[in-house]
Every structure is written in C-alpha cells, then in structure tokens.
A = this chain, B = another copy of it.
Amino acid sequence: MTKAVVIGGSGYTGAELLRILSQHAEIEVVQVTAASNAGAAVTDLYPSLAGACDGVLYEDFSVDGVVDGVELAFVALPHGESQQHMGGLAERVAHVVDLGADFRLPAASYGEWYGEDHQAPALLTEFAYGLPELFRDEIRGFAHVANPGCYPTAAILALAPALARGLVEPTGLVVDATSGISGRGRSLSPASLFSEANETMAAYGLLDHRHTAEMEMALSAVAGQAAQVLFTPHVAPMTRGILATCYARPASAALTSEGLLDAYRDFYRGEPFVRVVGEPVPTKASAGANTVFVTPRYDARTGTVLVVAVEDNLVKGAAGQAVQNANLILGLPEETGLPTLGIMP
C-alpha cells in the first residue's frame, strides 16, 4: 500500500482524486491539504465523500508538513503554485503527479504561452508528459509526471492516430472544443455562477488559449514534425464533460471514413480507456469514468478529416488520468482503481 498526500484537495479535481482513490486497492490517501479551507472537514465541502473521508480535515500545506511515510504526492494547486514548492516536495516524496500546467511544457514554450519565466526550470526534465496512450513507456521511466490538461487530453487523443499514421497534415489543425463549467475550478467569479452560466454557451480565450501549446507539443511528437493548432474553447451549461471536434487536412486523397475508423481502431486496440465508436456519443457516456470515446470521419466533398472526442474533464481530463499515471510510475496495473462505466441518464 503506497501512502499518498493530496495537495490542493478542496478543488474539484482534488475531490475527484479523493473519490477515485477511496476505491484504489494499492494507494491510500493519508493526508489532504487545502490552504483556503484548512481546518474544514472534507465532508463539509463534499458530503458525497461521507463514508470515505469521515473525520478527515483539510490541513495547511507545507513541504515540511507532509507526513512521514508518504511516497506519492498528487498536486492539484492553482497555476503557478506547484513550481514554487516542487523543489522541496520532490526531495521529500519519491513520486509527484502534478495536475496543474507548471511542468507540462519546456521552459521556452512555457515562457512564450504563459508570459512569465518558469521558476524551477531545472525540474522540468524530471517530469514525463503523462498521456499514457501515447507515451506509456517514457512515463514508466520517470519519477514524476505532469498530468495533461483537460482539453489537450481529448484533442490529442482525437488527432494522434491520424498524425501518427501520416493521414493528415500537421498544420492547419483546428480544435473546436467545449467544456463543462467545472473546468474553471472552484474559484469564484461571476462567469462561474449558476445564474450566469446556466442556459447559455460562450466562446472564450480566442486564438491564444494556453492549452494550444500543449496540444502542439504532443502532436508534434506524434507526427514527427511541427504541428500547428488553432484552438477555440467554449463553455456549455453542464458541470462535467468535454467535447472536442477536430478538423484536419488530409495528407492523401485516398481517405474514407471507413478507412479512418479502421485505422483508429487499430491504433487504440487494447487500450482500456479509449473506445473508437462508429457514431458520436454524448459526453455523459463517460461521466464519472476514465473513458474517452473517439469517432473519425472523412468528408470527401470538402476534403476534410473530422474527429469527435468526448471525455469527463475531471476524470480522464484530470483526476482519473492522474491515477492512471500514478499506477504507471508505481509499477501497478494501469487500470487499478479506475472507473470505466459512465453514469446515464
């Protein structure tokens, strides 16, 4: 049994980590921190965790305060905070899975897209980019993992097979995606209020959303040449779920939808968390589960490849994938403790 701490456990990804890990046979959460809610009971914020977290209180976070015997830290802090603590933390625990954006990009790319210098650039090379379906073997060789962003997980898994097989051009990629509102986290802003987010949709972050860099980095690695993505995020009135509709230019004229489906099925054969489907499914097919559904098409009329992917942004897009990565670096079976059935209706 590996002892773990969840750092930043009062946000939505933190709560989802606690829910998933409570069913995990090999990882035991022995400490939960949350600076802004220190002293509160976990079940006051999330009564849904009654029975799993009874009597557990959020603690203040400090590296020194991590209890002895903890080997694994899940870090779910707001952007920019984990790089401040990572030096000490990586000395104190054997493994870190960072769910934020701090350790996903090379220093130069980080500076370019985040508009600030990285504060712990030397540590960046100690983190694997944790998208297991594409980089499983590399991840196993690292001590620490940078867990991918929610949008990148869906978009990269949607486009990777076509790029890896050379079926589409690596430039001219468009990712048009929509997230449920939990993607904004638990921080307070008028746009996240029910009354403003309900019964409405909106585009945001036009042209320069930071997740673009992550998509380009991973898709370039898959394609073996520089990929270029235009990413347009939207928000829809649902708590969970991401749907990404991706467009690409074919690399050859011989494509068909059937051929694409075959290529995708072949690419993801045996993957426990990716399902290639013949027809698009609703996002809640994966609600609460670590599953991504993908369906590709070729439109001969306009000469366009189109791929639709759906996931639960808090599970495969965050906490579930973090556990998947933890399983990998701990040498456990990759599926340990991970839910795969969605909740419908």
Q: CB within 8 Å of B: which residues of A?
A: 12, 15, 19, 22-23, 45-52, 171-172, 174, 176, 178, 180-182, 184, 186, 188-190, 192-204, 206-207, 228-230, 232, 234, 236-241, 243, 245, 247, 275, 277, 280-289, 291, 293, 297, 299, 301-302, 304, 306, 308, 310, 314, 340-345
Contacts and interface: CB of A to CB of B under 8 A. Distances in A.
B50 A291 contact: yes
A19 B277 CA distance: 20
Contact of A345 (B236, B239, B245, B280): B239
A305 to B, nearest CB: 10
Given A178-B234, A241-B201, A188 B190 contact: yes
Nearest to A309: B203
Given A12-B345, A194-B193, A280-B206, A199 B241 contact: yes
Contact of A188 (B178, B188, B284, B344): B188
Please indicate which of the listed interface residues A23, A245, A343 has the most CB atoms of chain B within 10 Å of its own CB. A343
Nearest to A18: B341
A344 B48 contact: yes
**How many subunits of this chain does the assembly comprise?**
4
A283 B200 contact: yes
Contact of A282 (B200, B206, B301): B200
Nearest to A205: B280
A243 to B, nearest CB: 5
B50 A206 contact: no
Contacts of A343: 19, 48, 287-288, 343
A56 to B, nearest CB: 13
A194 B181 contact: yes
B289 A48 contact: yes
A287 B48 contact: yes
Contacts of A176: 176, 232, 245, 247
A134 to B, nearest CB: 21
Nearest to A177: B176
A182 B193 CA distance: 9
Contact of A230 (B190, B197, B280, B302): B302
Given A48-B344, A287-B199, A297 B207 contact: yes
A285 B194 contact: no
A345 B195 CA distance: 6
Given A12-B345, A51-B341, A202 B281 contact: yes
A49 B291 CA distance: 11
Contact of A199 (B174, B239, B245, B314): B239
